[in-house]
Structure 1
Amino acid sequence: MLDREREWKLLSEFVADPSPQMRLAIVSGRRRSGKSYLLEALAEEAGGLYVTAVQEEGRIPALHRFTGSVAQAAGVPSSTLRLDDWEDALTTALDVTARQGSPLLVIDELPYLLQHSPEIPGLLQLLYDRSQSGGAPGGRVILCGSALSVMNDLLSGTKPLRGRAVIDLRMLPFDARTARTHWQIDDPQAALLVDSCLGGAPGYRPLAPGDSPQNNSEFDSWLVETLLNPGRALYSRVESEFLLREDPRITHRALYYDILTAVAGGATTPAKVGGLLQRDRAGIVPPLTVLESTGYVRRDDDLLKPRNPAYRVADPVIRFNQLVTMPAVDLVEHDRAARVWSDARPTFTSKILGPHFEDMAREWTRMHAGTEAGLDLGTTGGTEVPDREARTRHEVDVVALAPGERPQSSGSRIALLGEAKATVMPRGMRDVGRLEHIRDLLDGLGHPASGATLALYSLHGFHQDVIRAAAKRRDLLLVDLHAIYGDSQVLGGQ
């Protein structure tokens, strides 16, 4: 099991809790994030009962499937146990697991059951409350699902399970370094290209044909045979549709696809999305909120200014589909994928690779700058800095506050300013000059920044002039792709 030590420890301690009363845990995460793999292994290790629901199955077949699994765990023929009521089914499952000596019940893909049996959370609340006084079996119950909005709603507001779950665990995709290890890619540039298309969802690796690409040329042919191949499981159009079907609220998929395309293309506000789609802003906000709750769109708040959020497509597969596959889907599905990919390279570089590299720069700053560059940083994000004299705004890719400073607070101290570029040009002293100018602007706006480190993140290295400068300046840090992946040390900052 790769990079799930924290999740495994948390759930193992949950199962081992000696309390005789029932305990509840919620596990959620986008499809192919490894939830089922983890929970099946946990149930096997603990000797518990793992049951998964089936999409578009009716209430009675689902009950019979559930009780059949309970019967199997009890060591009796499945035909001997036929219950047509979820309260009886859940109570029996908890009784059986308790008698087996491992009172663990895992219900995977719970949202499928809730489509026809919305009473299940209320019944679990009833059993939970009864167990607190010994009136119902105890045990450990883990509820899992891929529909994030449904799983998040379980513990919200006045919902039955609110205040009763001791764990609410969100399974995230692998970070870039772990994903590279998972895909077994030596070359960091090839690893970046795969990550920018698929992200860190571990479930994609078994679906990809053959060996992982190890260089740029191998990546081109690999991509044509995977994300742009309608016969493959990783065909981006099918995978995107599959992901969007996870949320029951996404019914008019054409509108959601249009919104995703607009956001992926650079429309970062509801007003800009509405302008592109010729719809009022008020009509865009509800579906945009749904996409945010599903995890397919994220809202990035400006680190320094309130009420200045920017929306981004969070899921790399969907972003690739909206920008590369869908505009030329007819050609893709008529065996012209190689031409489509050749034509789409500029879009891929500017709209996919560039933003993804910026995300990786922020993540490196957040997770590794302390240990690998000796920096003491607080919250990390991005911002826009107004330049009144030049009548423009400067977008800053990476900003880190000083430790203890609160985001969007007046006078917050700046610890780092960074620029991340995935262009083919090496970065030089001109980029440093731009960051120095922004540092002066922030000082003038009341954000003390004179001591801030200036960081350049480059996909294609640095000119000699800036390398020489970094060797002499403590406030200048150079981070290339090898450093982001942990293969080499950063330059400067000493």
Structure 2
Amino acid sequence: MNAVHAQRRNPVMAPDGAPRPERLFDRESEWAALLSFACDPHPGPDLAVVMGRHRQGKTLLLESLAGATGGFYFCGQQATEAEALRRMGEEYARYRRESRPLCWRDWKECLDALVATGDDGPVPVVIDSFPDLVAASPALPSIIYGALRHFDRPPLENRVRLLLGGEAAPVMTRLFGSASPLRARTGLILDVQPMDFRGAARLWGIDEPALAFLVHTVVGGTPAYRHDYVDDDVPADRNDFDAWVCRTVLNPRMPLYHEARHLLDEETGPWNRGVCHSVLAALARGCTTHGEIATFLGQQLTDTSRALAVLRDRGLLRSQPDGLQLGITRHHIADPLLAFEHAVARPRRAALELSDARTVWEEARPDFDALVAVRGFAQICRDWAVSYADWGLGTEQVVASHGALSGPSGEAGLDAEVVVRRTNGSPAGPLVSLGLARWSTGMDLHHLHHLRRILDRLDSRDRAGPGSVRLALYGASGFSPALHFAQARGEVMLVDLERLYRGS
């Protein structure tokens, strides 16, 4: 199951004549949504927006769609308006098999010609990297709106399916947000997300859950990292994981070694990258609240807010209300490679340039286990709770987050890594489950008692009734016999790696 966020007006069934290309791994739901849109026979032009961070396969999806349906594909780039129009004319002439490039004076002429492609039936016209074109031609969205309006008139013979793709989330959100006139004309909004932990295991061809998890803590679910970025290198088994890390992400000769810094540069643009790196370093060290991050950076809260907003808008930061104190917001790094970079690689860049990776990794492994693996395990437990667990709620959705209760003065607080609530339209819905997640520690009855102490301190309004909150222990290093007896009595739910990767 992959994370795909799509909104569609009046969906139709995708035709059987355009199967998903073999080079597209997984992405069944994304492909079906795009194909349904592109081949929709309903009269009138239609518009789709396809967003996605770098390396997630958005361009491959759009190129494959155009190729499978006989559509037109054009990828924008940073250039002047005149050069972009010239390139568009050349590409469109090749698509129409015309001997000479088309010379359009402006974008209006160009869009009128592109939209007219759909006069004979539904056909996709894809303009990828759309924000790059808008940077040189700010009026382009208005011109597109005008072209669609012009062709959306009786007798509605035109059936062009215009798809606009882009990586820059803030730009795409502004162009197609609720206040944009283009939003009302948009029939499909597709956000191409990284694969989840189960999809990543299939992508890498890893059947062993422990190894699949360790690889996920380094590269996450980004499809592009599977082949060229590691030279098709996959760890043979769990014993090969340490050597694989040294061969790939800690090897200066491999693209993956440089990827985290390139990714941050691409996503944040010219804004203060140093501050963004420092915020990610604070998050990697365990600072999760706004105040903790500001203290780590030695800055005022207002100075930290901008960096948090930049990272969140680019999809690099996950921000959620605390599961037990809903007035507190907690932040987590969304991309595992960035978490690995700022906890393990970045503090040791000089050593990696001067020493062999094996020596550096031996010194860094405790940080990986304590900072990366522990938090990564808690996150996949939350993901499992949302996407795969059966809470007996039917179609009602849930949200899972980290939760912490402050202790009385001088006493430690109580934490739960997996707090599951019904959404009910907000993160403050009724409590469904309380859970602890432990990657490297075997679990015993005292972990169950910890959850019971949290439950005792919660407001009764958090519970629908006695026994309505399920207590759960998520462990990768085993459970004591006493816990298995407690599970048999219905007192706790035990979730191991096998269940995370294959069960519900």
Give the TM-score taking structure 2 as reference length.
Answer: 0.88
Q: Judging changes above 3 Å, is the alpha-carbon distance between structure 1 residues 140 and 445 closer, same or farther for their aligned structure 2 residues?
A: closer
Q: Greater shift after overlay, 451-460 or 362-371? A: 362-371
**Correspondences of 1:382-401 after superposition (within 5 Å):** 382-388=402-408, 391-401=411-421
**Aligned equivalent of 1:24, options 39, 47, 63:** 47
Q: CA deviation at 1:378?
A: 3.8
User: Whole-Å Cα distance in 2 between the matches of residues 375 and 47 of structure 1?
Assistant: 38
Q: Judging changes above 3 Å, is the alpha-carbon distance between structure 1 residues 391 and 417 closer, same or farther for their aligned structure 2 residues?
A: same
Counterpart code for 2:194: P
**Aligned equivalent of 2:215, options 184, 194, 203:** 194
User: Whole-Å Cα distance in 2 between the matches of residues 94 and 32 of structure 1?
Assistant: 29
Alignment correspondent of 1:361: 381
Q: Is the 8 A contact 1:263 1:311 kept in 2?
A: yes
2:270 is aligned with 1:254: no
Q: Is the 8 A contact 1:51 1:108 kept in 2?
A: yes
**Aligned equivalent of 2:190, options 162, 169, 175:** 169
2:328 is aligned with 1:308: yes
Q: Is the 8 A contact 1:378 1:405 kept in 2?
A: no
Q: CA deviation at 1:434?
A: 0.9
Percent identity over the alignment? Answer: 31
Alignment correspondent of 1:477: 493
User: Whole-Å Cα distance in 2 between the matches of residues 154 and 390 of structure 1?
Assistant: 51
1:370-411 deviation per Cα after TM superposition (whole angstroms, max 9, x unaligned):
1899999844333223444884421111122368595326xx
**Aligned equivalent of 1:434, options 444, 450, 457:** 450
User: Whole-Å Cα distance in 2 between the matches of residues 117 and 333 of structure 1?
Assistant: 43
User: Whole-Å Cα distance in 1 between the matches of residues 426 and 76 of structure 2?
Assistant: 43
Q: Judging changes above 3 Å, is the alpha-carbon distance between structure 1 residues 156 and 99 closer, same or farther for their aligned structure 2 residues?
A: closer
Alignment correspondent of 2:85: 63
**Aligned equivalent of 1:142, options 149, 163, 175:** 163
* Secondary structure of 2:74's aligned partner: strand
**Correspondences of 1:203-218 after superposition (within 5 Å):** 203-207=224-228, 208-218=230-240
Q: CA deviation at 1:66?
A: 1.6
Q: CA deviation at 1:254?
A: 1.4
Q: Greater shift after overlay, 165-174 or 59-68? A: 59-68
1:97-156 deviation per Cα after TM superposition (whole angstroms, max 9, x unaligned):
336755311111112222222222111111122222269965111111112222222122
Alignment correspondent of 2:292: 272
Alignment correspondent of 1:52: 75
User: Whole-Å Cα distance in 1 between the matches of residues 190 and 461 of structure 2?
Assistant: 40
2:310 is aligned with 1:290: yes
**Aligned equivalent of 2:110, options 63, 66, 89:** 89
Q: CA deviation at 1:445?
A: 7.3
- After the TM superposition, which parts of structure 1 deviate over 6 Å for at least 4 consecutive aligned residues? 371-377
Counterpart code for 1:223: V
Q: Judging changes above 3 Å, is the alpha-carbon distance between structure 1 residues 372 and 211 closer, same or farther for their aligned structure 2 residues?
A: farther
Q: CA deviation at 1:176?
A: 1.1
**Correspondences of 1:90-109 after superposition (within 5 Å):** 90-95=111-116, 97-98=117-118, 102-109=122-129
* Secondary structure of 1:242's aligned partner: helix
Aligned residues: 478
Q: CA deviation at 1:190?
A: 1.2
User: Whole-Å Cα distance in 1 between the matches of residues 195 and 439 of structure 2?
Assistant: 21
Q: CA deviation at 1:83?
A: 2.4
User: Whole-Å Cα distance in 2 between the matches of residues 292 and 255 of structure 1?
Assistant: 14
User: Whole-Å Cα distance in 1 between the matches of residues 394 and 137 of structure 2?
Assistant: 54
**Correspondences of 1:226-265 after superposition (within 5 Å):** 226-235=248-257, 238-247=258-267, 249-265=269-285
User: Whole-Å Cα distance in 2 between the matches of residues 14 and 338 of structure 1?
Assistant: 50
Alignment correspondent of 1:332: 352
User: Whole-Å Cα distance in 1 between the matches of residues 266 and 94 of structure 2?
Assistant: 29
2:445 is aligned with 1:422: no
Counterpart code for 2:64: A
1:213-266 deviation per Cα after TM superposition (whole angstroms, max 9, x unaligned):
13233111111121112221211xx31232223346542211211122112222
Q: CA deviation at 1:179?
A: 1.0
2:36 is aligned with 1:13: yes
Q: Which has the higher contact order (CA 8 A, sep 6+)?
A: 2
Gapped regions of structure 1 (runs ≥ 5): none
Q: Greater shift after overlay, 303-312 or 386-395? A: 386-395
Q: Is the 8 A contact 2:206 2:212 kept in 1?
A: yes
Q: CA deviation at 1:296?
A: 0.5
Alignment correspondent of 2:479: 462
User: Whole-Å Cα distance in 1 between the matches of residues 41 and 396 of structure 2?
Assistant: 40
User: Whole-Å Cα distance in 1 between the matches of residues 170 and 35 of structure 2?
Assistant: 26
* Secondary structure of 1:267's aligned partner: coil
Q: Is the 8 A contact 1:91 1:137 kept in 2?
A: no
Q: Judging changes above 3 Å, is the alpha-carbon distance between structure 1 residues 53 and 477 closer, same or farther for their aligned structure 2 residues?
A: same
User: Whole-Å Cα distance in 2 between the matches of residues 5 and 62 of structure 1?
Assistant: 33
Alignment correspondent of 2:19: none
User: Whole-Å Cα distance in 2 between the matches of residues 405 and 99 of structure 1?
Assistant: 42
Counterpart code for 1:35: K
Q: Greater shift after overlay, 98-107 or 473-482? A: 98-107
Counterpart code for 1:428: D
* Secondary structure of 1:418's aligned partner: strand
Q: CA deviation at 1:328?
A: 1.1
Alignment correspondent of 1:320: 340
**Correspondences of 1:373-412 after superposition (within 5 Å):** 378-388=398-408, 391-401=411-421, 407-408=427-428, 412=430
**Aligned equivalent of 2:470, options 453, 461, 465:** 453
User: Whole-Å Cα distance in 1 between the matches of residues 216 and 426 of structure 2?
Assistant: 31
* Secondary structure of 1:333's aligned partner: helix
Q: CA RMSD in A?
A: 2.7
* Secondary structure of 1:478's aligned partner: strand
Gapped regions of structure 2 (runs ≥ 5): 1-23
* Secondary structure of 1:266's aligned partner: coil
Q: Is the 8 A contact 2:39 2:123 kept in 1?
A: no
User: Whole-Å Cα distance in 1 between the matches of residues 92 and 397 of structure 2?
Assistant: 51
* Secondary structure of 2:342's aligned partner: helix
User: Whole-Å Cα distance in 2 between the matches of residues 374 and 120 of structure 1?
Assistant: 45
Q: Judging changes above 3 Å, is the alpha-carbon distance between structure 1 residues 157 and 416 closer, same or farther for their aligned structure 2 residues?
A: closer
